[in-house]
Chain A
Amino acid sequence: MSTPEKLLNLVFAVLLFFGVMGAILLLTQRLRSRNGERVQIAAFVGPSLLLVAVGLLYPAVTTIIQSFKNRALTEFVGLENYRAIFTDDSQLQVLRNTAIWVILTPVLATAIGLVYAVLIDKARFERFAKTLLFLPMAISLVGASIIWKFVYDYKATEQDQLGILNAILKSLGVDTYRFLLTEPWNTLFLIVIFIWVQAGFAMTLLSASIKAIPDEINEAARLDGASSLKMFRFITIPSIRPALIVVLTTISIATLKVFDIVRTSTGGNFGTSVLANEFYTQSFRAFQQGLGAALGTLIFVLVLPIVVYNIRQMRKLESR
């Protein structure tokens, strides 16, 4: 395909899409009866539900069914795959690591993003400052994997260092350290990478949220002589609470799914593997499809607490 053809395809697709959407809106606009509203609701949620059902629900259900099958998915084996996971020490460690990831990453990434967003709010270089924290999000994974190589790389103390952390240790006269090898701290160093990526996401959303706090509220508090810390505690936090929940939830879910950081940094060795990485390894490299599906199903199960928490928050909001 030539470039003009591709662009034509692009324009055609966008026009087609907006044409259809516009038509739906125009046609349903006039409907006012009870039945009319039903049609309207169907038009609003229908396309999304259809896509999500086909593209996500169906594969998810398939995966759950496959988790009860054998290696090549030819026979049902009951709970065998789950038994294998819960009786294997290394798999239990994977579950433990996943828990550490899901607890630490969202909290730290959100906290850093929030503090930064508050501190640079209305600062002179605000745009520039935001771009700096956002940069890691914009870098593709292939780039990020080398970036962190230049941070964590290990060479013996007397050698030339490639990693900046060990170069600093060396210049301080301390022995160099194996950041990716030494259990259990290596998991934390991997988590740092993901926090580095996600803090920009948290910062962007929270900063926008902070900007939406009405001026009067801030002014009133300031006239009352509230200190910065008190402003933060009693004005900022309560005002952006819904945004905080959104950010925490989104990062938690992203954390459950993260596998490429572990895969490219340690390959899951040295006790650093997480569920999503094991799922990928078993399904696509070891050709243990049943076991892989069981690991995938466990990821689904782990999201339940997050879902329940969100439902409760929504209920609270409804009832207010």
Chain B
Amino acid sequence: MTTTTPTIAPAQVEEPTGPPKSAAAAAHSTLTSRIGSGVALAIAVLWTIPTFGLLVSSFRPEGEVKTNGWWNAFANPSFTLDNYKAVITGSDVDLATYFVNSFVITIPSVLIPISLATLAAYAFAWMDFKGRHALFVAVFALQIVPIQVTMIPLLKLYVQPPLGLPQLAGANAVGGGFWTVWLSHSIFALPLAIYLMHNFMREVPRELIESARVDGAGHVQIFTRIMLPLLTPAIAAFGIFQFLWVWNDLLVALVFAGGNLDVSPLTVRLAALAGQRGEDWHLLSAGAFVSLIVPLIVFLAGQRYFVRGLLAGSVKG
């Protein structure tokens, strides 16, 4: 993410005028770096232990999982792949089908809001029009609306759309119910996406935009040739988060794809794994890891976009 403010930063550089580097200072900095590493390690361990417990549990037999703690698995090892087998083959619908559905739901639900939000954020940040501040604040504030509030009104609109638009949900839905899910995810993502993108765009130095305008570039050119390249890390970061929010979403799928069984995402299958009365939570642990793989790959793949100094580099010249 490129959010530096080069105009502020140089002013701050003057402040830390410490003593010249001495042996004592070097020792001190080694010490702080040791403490630093220790703290980082502590955080990493604390953050990982709970998940690690789940990972171990997912390989333990049902009786063991339910009667003693997961750390006992190391003292008396008894591991099994049964939980994974049950998750992968235990349903009358192929697990692959749920994966496909999750992908089909997620990809447009990431691409659409990001594109719309980048355009809108650009307008709010760099185009001059009456009421743009008020509008931006209103959009930003709408982040607070919880999905639960929107369920019934939105569903009504989808089932009985005004102006003779085609029915998007219900028995005669076009596109088998995917459209409502895409649309809903896009709506819910927009306020945050616009807010984030707007803040990143405001960081782009005014001189850069102005010199482009002097050169005769219009808004579309500035948007596509300056903003998009500069914002790649920001877009990638938001894209990753939006991806995993959609991937892990259960509520939107339940409400807006409701009644269309063949579009259900993986989370619907996961929720059902718990069993009729929540008795099968040993299966849930395995299910959680099956579902985790894809977001993890997306995160690892997306990391290379967070490279340093894209924006900083552009102001240098």
Residues of chain A at the chain B interface (Cβ within 8 Å) = 1, 3, 6-7, 9-10, 13-14, 17-18, 21, 25-26, 28-32, 37-38, 40-41, 43-45, 47-49, 51-52, 54-60, 62-63, 112, 115-116, 119-120, 123, 127, 129-144, 146-151, 160-164, 167, 196, 199, 201, 204-205, 207-209, 211-215, 217, 220-221, 224-231, 234-235, 238-243, 245-246, 249-250, 253, 256-257, 259, 276, 279-280, 283-284, 296, 299-300, 303, 307, 310-311, 314, 317, 320
B4, B139, B284, B292: the one within 8 Å of A138 (CB): B292
Q: Which residues of A contact B29 (CB under 8 A)?
A: 227-228
Instruction: Please determine whether A276 and B16 come into contact, CB atoms closer than 8 angstroms.
Output: no
Instruction: Tell me whether A221 and B13 are in contact in the complex, defined as CB-CB below 8 angstroms, given that A48-B117, A303-B144 are known contacts.
Output: yes
Q: Which residues of B contact A230 (CB under 8 A)?
A: 16, 18
Instruction: Please determine whether B263 and A213 come into contact, CB atoms closer than 8 angstroms.
Output: no
Instruction: Tell me whether A9 and B175 are in contact in the complex, defined as CB-CB below 8 angstroms, given that A48-B139, A133-B43, A276-B146 are known contacts.
Output: yes
Q: In the assembly, what is the distance between CA of A14 and CA of B186, in Å? A: 13
Q: Which residues of B contact A57 (CB under 8 A)?
A: 138, 142
Instruction: Tell me whether A140 and B291 are in contact in the complex, defined as CB-CB below 8 angstroms, given that A132-B48, A221-B13, A234-B12 are known contacts.
Output: yes
Q: In the assembly, what is the distance between CA of A44 and CA of B125, in Å? A: 11
Max chain B CB contacts within 10 Å: which of A6, A18, A58?
Answer: A6
Instruction: Please determine whether B116 and A40 come into contact, CB atoms closer than 8 angstroms.
Output: no
Name B166-208 residues within 8 Å CB distance of A. Answer: 175-176, 178-179, 182-184, 186-188, 190-192, 194-196, 199, 202-203
Closest to A28 in B: B220
Q: Say yes or no for B71: interface residue by CB 8 A criterion.
A: yes
Instruction: Please determine whether B284 and A146 come into contact, CB atoms closer than 8 angstroms.
Output: yes
Closest to A223 in B: B21
Interface pairs (23), CB distance under 8 Å: A10-B108, A14-B111, A29-B218, A45-B119, A49-B120, A51-B186, A55-B183, A60-B145, A138-B296, A144-B288, A149-B281, A208-B306, A221-B13, A224-B16, A224-B18, A225-B25, A228-B36, A238-B9, A246-B195, A250-B195, A250-B196, A284-B148, A311-B133
Closest to B10 in A: A217
Q: Mark B38-60, 1 if CB is under 8 A from A, else 0.
A: 01100110011111011001000
Q: In the assembly, what is the distance between CA of A216 and CA of B123, in Å? A: 32
Max chain A CB contacts within 10 Å: which of B104, B124, B195, B203?
Answer: B104
Q: Which residues of B contact A243 (CB under 8 A)?
A: 1, 3, 199
Q: In the assembly, what is the distance between CA of A41 and CA of B176, in Å? A: 34
Tell me the minimal C-beta distance from B237 to chain A in angstroms.
6
Instruction: Please determine whether A150 and B292 come into contact, CB atoms closer than 8 angstroms.
Output: no
Tell me the minimal C-beta distance from A41 to chain B in angstroms.
5
Q: Which residues of B contact A307 (CB under 8 A)?
A: 137, 140-141
B71, B139, B194: the one within 8 Å of A167 (CB): B71
Q: Which residues of B contact A214 (CB under 8 A)?
A: 4, 6, 9, 309, 312, 315-316
Instruction: Please determine whether A150 and B54 come into contact, CB atoms closer than 8 angstroms.
Output: yes
6 A-B pairs with least C-beta separation:
A143-B288, A208-B1, A55-B187, A44-B123, A211-B308, A226-B16
Instruction: Please determine whether B203 and A213 come into contact, CB atoms closer than 8 angstroms.
Output: no
Tell me the minimal C-beta distance from B102 to chain A in angstroms.
11
Name B283-315 residues within 8 Å CB distance of A. Answer: 284-285, 287-289, 291-292, 295-296, 299-300, 303, 306-312, 315
Instruction: Please determine whether A51 and B187 come into contact, CB atoms closer than 8 angstroms.
Output: yes
Q: In the assembly, what is the distance between CA of A57 and CA of B187, in Å? A: 11
Instruction: Please determine whether A13 and B108 come into contact, CB atoms closer than 8 angstroms.
Output: yes
